[in-house]
Chains A and B, each alone.
Chain A
Amino acid sequence: MPNDDVLLDPTGELNPPQRKLQNRLTGLQGKIVALLDISKPRGKEFLDVIEGRLRELGAEVKRYTKPTFTRIAPTSLKQQISSESDAVIIALAD
């Protein structure tokens, strides 16, 4: 029988590099906040409330929608959001 003293790692062997966080916003006045709807039911209503609160705090709000919640966002959408806003809030489901 094979010896069991050496095992091969079945994982993706991810050694994630430490990612530097983006600089945090110090305030919302005049900043553009993106709200991403992932296309789950009732996401719109939830984001409507968030949008109202953000506007009260002086932020400008832009709304985006993922084509379907079952897939990760298309690269083009992520690039659009990152180029058009200062911060993003994703309305995750459930």
Chain B
Amino acid sequence: MNPTQESRYALVVKKQCPTCALIEPLLEPLDKLYGSALSVYVQDDPAFAATVTQPVDDSSLEFSWRHQIEIVPTLIHFRGENEVQRIAGWDKKQWRELTGIADLGEGITDFQPGCGSRTQDPGMEETLALRFAQNPLQSRELMLDDSTDAIEACYDHGWTDGLPVVPPTPLRVMRMLNGSERDPREIIGAIPPDLVACSVEKIAINAVMAGCKPEYFPVVLATVEAALQDPFCLHGLLCTTYFSSPVIVVNGPVSRHIGMNWGINALGQGNRANATIGRALQLLVRNVGGGIPGEIDRATLGNPGKYTYCFAEDESDEHWPSLAMDRGFERKDSVVNLFAGDGLQPIVDQRSRTADSLSRSMALSLRSVVHCKLFQMADAILVICPEHRRVFKESGWNKADVKAALIEHLQLPGAEIVRGAGNIAEGMPETLKDQRLAKFRDDGLHIVAAGGDAGFFSAVIGGWVASGERGSQLVSQRVN
């Protein structure tokens, strides 16, 4: 026989496995039959198979990983380099056929499933891939000595937004990348202001630092893709002296799957997905794009949303179209919407019990976006709370009715808002005094449902003063 075609056998076991313990008495007859042609790989305690001719300590799990062992015990028959048969778990009939030992396992049960291989332990896949596979990660590595605190090192390198970040170790980044099927080397686009080509891997690194779980990663990727859509105008937004920065509204099943918050305190703290998805985008802009406050980020005051500003929409009312549906998507689509906005201005109306009164009330508050006398300058998101939506519903109004009423109530005679009117120098140009002016440009007012059940408190998220084609428009991106 060609020596390269000689049969070899590998048995992979771990001491902690009851099925491996069940077949331990079989090691002796197998060793007697195969001798040095049998290697017994032990994943945990090498003493387990110490009596066989060829025990192998596989506590590094290299053999198990390279041969994709999922269950122990696994018995493999090789001919030369080729695997010809594999049995996972204990099946007396199969083992007897493979070994040719007619009475193998006499006196023990006919069948017992095996246990999970240690290669299948949580988080082990990425650890072993990093240890034994060609490292797919291409980013520069920073080696730290024992005395250096990794979190402090991230501060020292200027990688943080002022809050601590999760140190982006290769293992954490690998786990993040496994949250998506995208190739780590795929270039998503050029991140302003430096217009650096940004790979999926760089996004994963910043998502790790932001504190994201791997299951958030597809949403983070869609967020970055949305931010790079030309109509969003990320470059101008991150440079501006104005307050604004990206506001993220997540729609569709993914928001529920990853546990986002659209209810009580939806725009506040306390939800990991809300907090970290928004932060990942901000860190990416800082680290990959180079958008650093005091350098190219020239915000006069900024706003706290520049740490993170991300929430989900309440889609519990099937008769109320979501923001994504307003943008042409369907209820079943998972979508990320990005708006260039800032802050939060409350609308308190605890008296209106008719849709007409409430719409007039909300329009009055919306008029103050940017300035009560500046029209067509910035867009806005109106976040309507459940109690206010109930008022509209009880009047028989749907979302389109609400929006139409708001737009109607937000039209004013130019004479009331031109420069000098009301003894206020700020305002619209004098040439518009005889026109009737709309507060928002077409497609400049967006409505989102969110908030806890109690409280007649809706809110306005004002937009960047550069809206529309000359600046930023709300953009939407499907989550894949």
**Using a CB–CB distance below 8 Å, which chain A residues touch chain B?**
2-14, 67-72, 93-94
B290 touches A12 (CB 8 A): yes
Residues of chain B within 8 A (CB-CB) of A5 are: 143-146, 150
Check: B257 CB closer than 8 A to any chain A CB.
Answer: no
Residues of chain A within 8 A (CB-CB) of B154 are: 7
B150 touches A7 (CB 8 A): yes
B159 touches A11 (CB 8 A): yes
B144 touches A10 (CB 8 A): no
User: How long is the Cα–Cα vector from A8 to B205 in the complex, in angstroms?
Assistant: 7
Check: B282 CB closer than 8 A to any chain A CB.
Answer: no
Check: B172 CB closer than 8 A to any chain A CB.
Answer: yes
Q: Which of B233-241, B396-404, B417-425 contacts A (4 or more CB under 8 A)?
A: B233-241
A10 to chain B, nearest CB (A): 4
Q: Which of B59-67, B437-445, B465-473 contacts A (4 or more CB under 8 A)?
A: B465-473
Considering only CB atoms, which chain B residue lies closest to A5 in the complex?
B144
Q: Which B residues between 244 and 288 are near A, CB-CB below 8 angstroms?
A: 283, 287-288
Can you identify 9 A-B contacts, CB atoms within 8 angstroms?
A8-B168, A12-B194, A12-B197, A12-B290, A14-B290, A69-B466, A70-B235, A72-B192, A72-B235
B471 touches A68 (CB 8 A): yes
A90 to chain B, nearest CB (A): 14
Residues of chain B within 8 A (CB-CB) of A94 are: 241, 298
User: How long is the Cα–Cα vector from A90 to B63 in the complex, in angstroms?
Assistant: 64
Given A7-B154, A71-B236, decide whether A12 and B143 contact each other with a Cβ distance below 8 A: no
User: How long is the Cα–Cα vector from A2 to B124 in the complex, in angstroms?
Assistant: 11
Which of A13, A71, A93 meets B140, CB within 8 Å?
A: A13
B139 touches A9 (CB 8 A): yes
Q: Which B residues between 159 and 181 are near A, CB-CB below 8 angstroms?
A: 159, 167-173
Which of A7, A10, A67 meets B202, CB within 8 Å?
A: A10
Residues of chain A within 8 A (CB-CB) of B140 are: 8-9, 13
User: How long is the Cα–Cα vector from A72 to B230 in the complex, in angstroms?
Assistant: 12
Considering only CB atoms, which chain A residue lies closest to B199 in the complex?
A12
Considering only CB atoms, which chain A residue lies closest to B158 in the complex?
A11
Check: B198 CB closer than 8 A to any chain A CB.
Answer: yes
B146 to chain A, nearest CB (A): 8
Residues of chain A within 8 A (CB-CB) of B139 are: 8-10, 13
Check: B137 CB closer than 8 A to any chain A CB.
Answer: yes
B209 touches A10 (CB 8 A): yes
B194 touches A69 (CB 8 A): no
A2 touches B169 (CB 8 A): yes
User: How long is the Cα–Cα vector from A11 to B158 in the complex, in angstroms?
Assistant: 10
Check: B1 CB closer than 8 A to any chain A CB.
Answer: no
Residues of chain B within 8 A (CB-CB) of A14 are: 194, 196, 290
B469 to chain A, nearest CB (A): 8
User: How long is the Cα–Cα vector from A3 to B471 in the complex, in angstroms?
Assistant: 44
Given contacts A7-B150, A8-B173, A9-B139, 19 further A-B contacts (CB under 8 A): A2-B169, A2-B172, A4-B169, A5-B150, A6-B143, A6-B169, A7-B167, A8-B137, A9-B141, A11-B287, A12-B197, A12-B198, A12-B202, A12-B287, A14-B194, A68-B236, A70-B466, A70-B470, A94-B241
Residues of chain A within 8 A (CB-CB) of B237 are: 70
Residues of chain A within 8 A (CB-CB) of B47 are: none
A74 to chain B, nearest CB (A): 12
Check: B459 CB closer than 8 A to any chain A CB.
Answer: no
Considering only CB atoms, which chain A residue lies closest to B145 in the complex?
A5
Check: B142 CB closer than 8 A to any chain A CB.
Answer: yes
Residues of chain A within 8 A (CB-CB) of B22 are: none
Scoring B140, B145, B290 by chain A CB atoms within 10 A of each residue's CB, the highest score goes to B140
Which of A2, A9, A13, A68 meets B171, CB within 8 Å?
A: A2
The 7 closest A-B pairs by CB, nearest first: A70-B236, A12-B196, A4-B150, A2-B171, A9-B140, A8-B139, A10-B287
Given A10-B159, A69-B236, A72-B235, decide whether A3 and B470 contact each other with a Cβ distance below 8 A: no
A10 touches B470 (CB 8 A): no
Check: B406 CB closer than 8 A to any chain A CB.
Answer: no
